[in-house]
Structure 1
Amino acid sequence: MAKDLVCGMDVDEKTAQYKATYKGKTYYFCAPGCKKMFEANPEEYVGGSAGHSGHGCCCGGH
């Protein structure tokens, strides 16, 4: 399982519909909103504070 860096949700890499590649690494997302937020500012998420808010930024609360 991968972790959605935007909301902190676990995402199965094999079935994930939303993914983005940044600096040669693939990141997986639970929803299009999380992917969009990551793509807008990837350094904010790969810079060390993974799972940022840890609450429903994309899906109305996990």
Structure 2
Amino acid sequence: MRNVMKKLSGKFRNRNWAVIALNAMAILAVVQNMNAGCLWIDHQPEIPDGARHFRRF
């Protein structure tokens, strides 16, 4: 167990956390827009194909 934790912590130490945080915020913005966004306000007449799988209803 300790060896696994050392390997994982070593992988995460080398990552650029700013890029990871920005990617996470972008995905959260897409999910929020797909689930609660009003098409009248956003002026988005059709949903992009790449964002369809984030829709929850």
TM (normalized to structure 1)?
0.22
Higher strand proportion, which one? 1
Higher relative contact order (CA 8 A, sep 6+): 1
Higher helix proportion, which one? 2
